[in-house]
């Protein structure tokens, strides 16, 4: 009887389960939303059209070292511009400005690179290359990169680094170029050490170095992570010898609360970062690919200038000139065709209105480099007033 009872109970459960209606489960097919899976599926089906389309609309960008601003800028471009098979941006972790120049010149498949404006001048002046600027074209000036000099609080100025051991990053980057130029023009002779930035900061805390120079758009991720209370940012005066190639700038306590006292700023200088490319012939596939990138990039600059992307995007004015460089023709044509909307972002337009309304107070015409310095100050003023509100 017990066995019969168990059988009846099991049978009842089966009947109940059969008679009960459950909602149908829905499962999202990843291949329906993943461009990568779609491409792999086509590959298995022998489609070469997919490979051709992907390669035709993919551009490769050499960014910079881990912890620097270039890497974040490259990641932002990927996030905003990637559009399936229509356009794909491959941002590669690079070694810095000097190596990016070499990569653009020699590496197959490298279309773009972020370099500093003083790098090509340095290569020519030091005899490493002749007319190297003729091999390059620029898409746009990106933003200005501030010079960070981190040292013990006993170091009050760059002059205190005479004969001292100073790290200027690895020799493939651009920091050593800017650092050497600044020290030479100021007549200061430190002992240079070529050490990767994160390792250099560790050695600085241990007393194995006297200072570390980093040239990056603030806030520099690696510099913000310094916790040593004995270190600070050393000011750099805007000496006359620096003015031909560098711009005045300030580092703020908002960006570096561990290195600058609250509410204070540290004077420094800055150098423009440039989105550069090889000067391809107009009738080549590489030229067409860059033109395709430019159209997408310029059309979405407003999106890049909004959170959560790097705050340095807000400094980008697509039509800002870059003395001594030739702009990529499709980029200039895009700017000409969109002149009414490219006077810059809304912030840039407000700045230009401010200048026009106060022209009478200004002594003579404003040089392009002075205009950019004023624009950065205008951004800081707006930021301060926004906080006050």
Instruction: Report pLDDT for 347.
Output: 58
DSSP string, 363-384: -SPPPHHHHHHHHHHHHHHHHH
pLDDT grade, residue 200 (50/70/90)?
A: very high
Domain ranges of the chain: 35-358+365-385
pLDDT value at 344 more than 70: no
Compare 371 and 247 and report the one with higher pLDDT.
247
Name 259's Cβ contacts closer than 8 Å, sequence gap at least 6: 150, 223, 226, 231, 232, 233
Tell me what pLDDT residue 98 has: 87
Report the share of the chain in percent with pLDDT over 90: 53
Least confident span in 278-292, 301-315, 328-342? 328-342
pLDDT at 44: 56
| pLDDT > 60? residue 338 | yes
**Per-residue pLDDT tens digits for 246-301:** 989 999 999 999 999 999 999 999 999 999 999 999 999 999 999 999 999 999 99
Closest CA to 126 of 145, 101, 96, 103: 101
d(CA 61, CA 110): 6
- Report the pLDDT value the prediction gives residue 123, as an integer from 0 to 100: 85
Pairwise CA distance, residues 163 & 158, whole Å = 11
> In this predicted structure, what is the pLDDT of residue 362?
52
Lowest mean per-residue pLDDT among 10-14, 121-125, 188-192, 346-350: 10-14
pLDDT of 37-62, one tens digit each? Answer: 555 555 555 556 666 776 778 999 99
Indicate the range of 23-32, 211-220, 303-312, 334-343 predicted with least confidence.
23-32
Rounded to whole angstroms, the Cα distance separating 89 from 297 reads 10
Query: Please, which pLDDT band fits residue 13 given cuts at 50, 70 and 90?
Result: very low
Q: Give the model's pLDDT for residue 17.
A: 45
Q: Tell me what pLDDT residue 179 has.
A: 95
More confident residue, 375 or 389: 375
Residues in the chain: 389
Average pLDDT, the chain: 82
State whether CATH 3.40.50.300 applies to domain 35-358+365-385.
no
β-strand partners of 62: 92, 113
40, 50 Cβ separation under 8 angstroms? no
**DSSP line for 26-43:** ----GGGT-HHHHHHHHH
Instruction: Taking residues 335-362, report their average pLDDT.
Output: 60
Q: Which residue has the higher pLDDT, 82 or 345?
A: 82
Q: Can you give the pLDDT at residue 287?
A: 95
Give 386: exposed, middle or buried? Use CB within 10 Å, 0-12, 13-18, 19+: exposed
Task: Using a pLDDT cut of 70, give the percent of the chain over it.
Answer: 74
* Contact indicator for 211, 167 with CB cutoff of 8 Å: yes
Across 198-227, b (16+ Cβ under 10 Å) vs e yields eebbbebbeeebbbbbbbbbbbbebbeebe
Q: What is residue 173's predicted lDDT score, i.e. its pLDDT?
A: 83
126-173, pLDDT tens digit by residue?
777 777 888 899 999 999 999 999 999 999 999 999 999 999 998 888
For residue 150, is the peptide bond before it cis, meaning its omega torsion is within 30 degrees of 0? no
Q: What is the pLDDT of residues 66-98, one digit of tens each?
A: 777 889 999 999 999 998 888 999 999 988 888
Least confident of 16-30, 74-88, 180-194, 216-230: 16-30
């Amino acid at each position: 009887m017990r066995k019969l009872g168990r059988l009846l109970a099991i049978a009842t459960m089966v009947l109940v389960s059969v008679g009960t209606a459950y909602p149908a489960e829905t499962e999202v097919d990843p291949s329906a939303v993943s461009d990568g899976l779609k491409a792999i599926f086509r590959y298995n089906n022998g489609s070469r059209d997919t490979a051709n389309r992907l390669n035709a609309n993919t551009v490769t960008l050499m960014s910079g070292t881990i912890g620097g601003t270039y890497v974040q800028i490259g990641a932002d471009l990927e996030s905003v511009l990637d559009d399936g098979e229509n356009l794909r941006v491959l941002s590669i972790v690079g070694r810095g400005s000097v190596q990016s120049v070499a990569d653009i010149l020699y590496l197959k498949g490298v279309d773009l690179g972020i370099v500093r404006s003083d790098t090509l001048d340095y290569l020519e002046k030091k005899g490493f290359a002749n007319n190297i600027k003729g091999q390059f074209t620029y898409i746009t000036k990106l933003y200005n990169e501030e010079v960070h000099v981190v040292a013990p609080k006993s170091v009050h100025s760059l002059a205190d680094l005479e004969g001292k051991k100073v790290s200027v990053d690895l020799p493939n980057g651009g920091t050593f170029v800017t650092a050497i130029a600044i020290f030479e023009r100021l007549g200061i002779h430190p002992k240079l050490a070529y050490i990767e930035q994160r390792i250099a900061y560790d050695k600085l805390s241990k007393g194995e170095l006297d200072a570390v120079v980093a040239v990056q758009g603030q806030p520099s991720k690696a510099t913000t992570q310094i916790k040593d209370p004995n270190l600070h940012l050393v000011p750099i005066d805007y000496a006359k010898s620096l003015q031909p190639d560098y711009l005045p700038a300030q580092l703020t306590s908002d960006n570096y609360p561990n290195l600058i006292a609250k509410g204070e700023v540290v004077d420094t200088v800055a150098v423009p970062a440039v989105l550069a490319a090889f000067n391809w012939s107009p009738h080549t596939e590489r030229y067409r690919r860059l033109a395709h990138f430019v159209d997408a990039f310029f059309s979405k600059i407003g999106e890049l200038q909004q959170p959560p992307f790097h705050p340095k995007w807000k400094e980008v004015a697509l039509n800002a000139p870059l003395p001594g460089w030739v702009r990529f023709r499709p980029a200039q044509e895009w700017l000409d065709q969109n002149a009414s909307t490219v006077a810059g972002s809304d912030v840039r337009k407000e700045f230009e209105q401010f200048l026009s309304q106060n022209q009478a107070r200004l002594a003579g015409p404003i040089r392009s480099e002075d205009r950019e310095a004023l624009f950065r100050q205008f951004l800081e003023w707006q930021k301060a007033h926004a906080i006050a509100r």
